[in-house]
Amino acid sequence: MGDDGSVYVSEMLHTPPVGEPGPGFDPSSVGRIVKVSGGTRTYASVTMPSGLAFHGGALHASAWAVAGFLGMPDAGQVVRVADSAFVPAS
C-alpha cells in the first residue's frame, strides 16, 4: 500500500500467449501492475512483475520474474516504477 492509501497489485501473467508461444512471441508484453486509488484503476507495464516494495517513497518491482522458464535465466531485474507510468486502460 502506498503512502496515499493506494493499493498496488502485481499481475505477473497478464496477457500471456494462448497455448505454446510462437516464434514471434515477445515476452516483454506479459505482465503489468495495477494501482487502485479511490476506486479508480490505472496500469503500468512491467514485464512479469512478481514482487512489489516501497523504498524511499518510490515503488519498486521485480521484473522478468519467470523468465528462467522461457530460457532467459539472467533476465531478472528490479525496476523503479514512476507514478507517471500508471495510465488508464486503453
Longest dimension (CA), the chain: 43
Q: Does 66 or 47 have the greater pLDDT score? A: 47
Give me the pLDDT at residue 80, please.
96
> For 28-45, what is the mean pLDDT?
93
The residues facing 24 across adjacent strands are none
Q: How far apart (Å, rounded) are the C-alpha atoms in residues 28 and 58?
A: 22
- Residue-level pLDDT at 5: 82
Find the range with the poorest average confidence among 30-34, 68-72, 76-80, 85-89.
68-72
**Residue 19, pLDDT score:** 79
Question: How large is the average pLDDT for residues 27-33?
Answer: 90
Residue 2 CA to residue 51 CA, distance in Å, equals 14
